[in-house]
Structure 1
């Protein structure tokens, strides 16, 4: 391709520049000869001049072609090779773009495209691996409670349980395992809605204080006799927010549930709400084990489960926090986590106030 373009440039330059310079003097000499009878010696001198000028123009054409080849065609050759690498799935390289001319800017734009494509493919590969891990984990999470349920049901059917207390314990285990299955299936169902854009919100303008009370009071009842101590800093601030109470309740159920699950027995979970810069800020802190630094940036990623041994033991799909993030961001807010060294973890959520 490069040779073809170079050849075309040379021919074009010869055709446009050199040939007219050759034809016009010859035509002029012929006309003059016909009028004045130009002698042979003088005509030979003119031809020598024409030949010399033609050689000079040819040399200029070749030099110009080399310059154009170096400044335009060689960068195009590099970009063509880079495109071939990308087509073959090889993105771990860089495209030099030192010049500030049009080709330099084009090469720089091509390099930005390559880098973004590489980043996207890396993220996609990580996402796909996490999805595969999740499928394997869910298969285990579904099989384990189902096996337990099957065993306890068969025990009840076979009539081997005659003691009433033992009978009640069997039923309690079946109920607990069924609830875990229900939570798992609900997470998967909501995630499928999130993926297809069908996780809808139903907003109402609500007072912050009444909204937070409606969210927190059921949590207080749930954790009243729990090994984890849950405290709430009252009174809540006043203000108006546009919110879906059901979805926000789901968010805080998940955040408090995670804190209770990972903080361990005798942990302290505190809920605090303030208003700052026209935003409602809710913080859920715990004094449990601090989240590892390498986990912090990924906690709200889909399928991320952190410490695999711990998450496998405690259950969970790695979707709960991703769903929380989606819900909060749909409200125009933000959600995150930070670690206070020596004091524990702080999950925070902000929602914009409305008039």
Structure 2
């Protein structure tokens, strides 16, 4: 029985996978055969019924239609022995026998058309109609599947490919929008520290130049530092204008001395210290000053400014910056510590996610208040850029209290 069932299933699959033209030809052929059999059966029944009538008078009807016609035409005396009712019955039986091939053919053609529609067309039509209705409602969360190798199966698969392509395009468009939002948020976020530095230099000059407390050389040096900061802003603006997501950023490593990197950090921290408020301390190792690093300095400073910006926002009195170079591993490590309240338990795991806000601001209902973001886009940028440079970002709470952010950069020329 299993063998028979298997053969029947294979036959069904072969029939189901026939092309529409082949299937239609099969349906029509079967309809013709069925019509022939039905008409033959009807003619035999009519012949049998006519014989029963003639048998009453001791006669037997031959299959020769001409003889039967003679009976009707009245050219044989035997016809006068039939009653008028019997003659009407004979006429009706012969009429049915003559018309049965045409009637059976018409009926079976209609049956074949109906069966062909319901067996081969209705299911895929319903599937396609349902899919079109869902797409009309802007819902793409469905799947079009029709198990057949015929033209309707191919059409359903093409429709499914179209739906998948639309879903893919929408996801890509959505991702582009999210990337652009992230770029815009990062751009606004990263402008803060450079602008704060420039404001610090501007306030410094505005305070001491009128009093003559700044030498000409100091003034020239300060203006040079301000020019460098402006150039960094200009370069950063060009970069952000030409990229569509942070995934497109690739570090451009150039050789730089450890000492020069420390000096550039101080160019950022000194005016912030001059502005008062939180004290910023930088610690580096003097014996490493002449070490050469292969580093994308603009990328490093962007990460540093983001970490410094977050630290200043939550520090109470002090921010401690430590910079060190690990020759054995090839990693440059930057530590930024603030003496604020530190990271919450959730923040330690999710603070570097995009648009994350800390527990305190959420608890206070301040998530929509400008300038009150807790970590958010800044740490997310740091993590992504550090990973681009072969490093990583780690968050922790200091034993003494406060938050500690450490970031590493791979700085070998490889």
Q: TM-score with structure 1 length normalisation?
A: 0.53
Give me the whole-angstrom Cα distance separating, in 1, the residues matched to 2:395 and 2:383. 19
8 Å Cα contact 1:286-1:345 kept in structure 2:
yes
Give me the whole-angstrom Cα distance separating, in 2, the residues matched to 1:324 and 1:340. 19
2:308 paired residue among 260, 277, 281? 260
1:74-119 Cα distance to aligned partner (Å, 9 max, x none)? 222233345555xxxx46x412446665757556545543433332
Give me the whole-angstrom Cα distance separating, in 2, the residues matched to 1:54 and 1:77. 31
Give me the whole-angstrom Cα distance separating, in 2, the residues matched to 1:70 and 1:129. 47
2:231 paired residue among 179, 182, 186? 182
Give me the whole-angstrom Cα distance separating, in 1, the residues matched to 2:333 and 2:197. 34
For the pair 1:286 / 2:348, whether they are aligned, the reply is no
Alignment-derived partner of residue 405 in structure 2? 345
- Aligned residue for 2:260, secondary structure, equals helix
2:142 paired residue among 86, 95, 112? 95
8 Å Cα contact 2:311-2:337 kept in structure 1:
yes
Alignment-derived partner of residue 66 in structure 1? 118
Give me the whole-angstrom Cα distance separating, in 1, the residues matched to 2:191 and 2:349. 29
Provide closer, same or farther for how the CA distance between residues 350 and 101 of structure 1 changes in structure 2, counting only shifts above 3 A: farther
TM superposition shift of 1:200? 9.4
Q: How is 1:51-200 mapped onto 2 (pairs within 5 angstroms)?
A: 51-52=103-104, 54-84=106-136, 90=138, 93-97=140-144, 109-129=161-181, 163-165=211-213, 178-192=227-241
For the pair 1:249 / 2:297, whether they are aligned, the reply is yes
Give me the whole-angstrom Cα distance separating, in 2, the residues matched to 1:217 and 1:76. 69
Give me the whole-angstrom Cα distance separating, in 2, the residues matched to 1:23 and 1:200. 77
Q: How is 1:324-343 mapped onto 2 (pairs within 5 angstroms)?
A: 324=385, 329=388, 334-340=390-396
- Aligned residue for 2:298, secondary structure, equals helix
8 Å Cα contact 1:282-1:350 kept in structure 2:
yes
8 Å Cα contact 1:337-1:345 kept in structure 2:
yes
Alignment-derived partner of residue 261 in structure 2? 219
TM superposition shift of 1:254? 3.0
8 Å Cα contact 2:333-2:408 kept in structure 1:
yes
TM superposition shift of 1:192? 4.2
Size of the aligned set, in residue pairs, is 296
For the pair 1:230 / 2:283, whether they are aligned, the reply is yes
Give me the whole-angstrom Cα distance separating, in 1, the residues matched to 2:190 and 2:257. 29
TM superposition shift of 1:165? 1.9
State the superposition RMSD in angstroms.
6.1
Query: Considering only CA atoms, is the larger Rg found in Structure 1 or Structure 2?
Result: 2
8 Å Cα contact 1:335-1:348 kept in structure 2:
yes
Give me the whole-angstrom Cα distance separating, in 2, the residues matched to 1:23 and 1:120. 58
Answer with 260-269 or 219-228: which moved more.
219-228
Provide closer, same or farther for how the CA distance between residues 194 and 15 of structure 1 changes in structure 2, counting only shifts above 3 A: closer
8 Å Cα contact 2:322-2:336 kept in structure 1:
yes
Provide closer, same or farther for how the CA distance between residues 125 and 51 of structure 1 changes in structure 2, counting only shifts above 3 A: same
TM superposition shift of 1:259? 3.0
Provide closer, same or farther for how the CA distance between residues 188 and 216 of structure 1 changes in structure 2, counting only shifts above 3 A: same
1:156-207 Cα distance to aligned partner (Å, 9 max, x none)? 9xxxx75312797998887666554333212112334656xx9998889xxx
Give me the whole-angstrom Cα distance separating, in 1, the residues matched to 2:114 and 2:297. 76
Give me the whole-angstrom Cα distance separating, in 2, the residues matched to 1:21 and 1:217. 98
- Aligned residue for 1:296, secondary structure, equals coil
Provide closer, same or farther for how the CA distance between residues 152 and 274 of structure 1 changes in structure 2, counting only shifts above 3 A: closer
Alignment-derived partner of residue 208 in structure 1? none
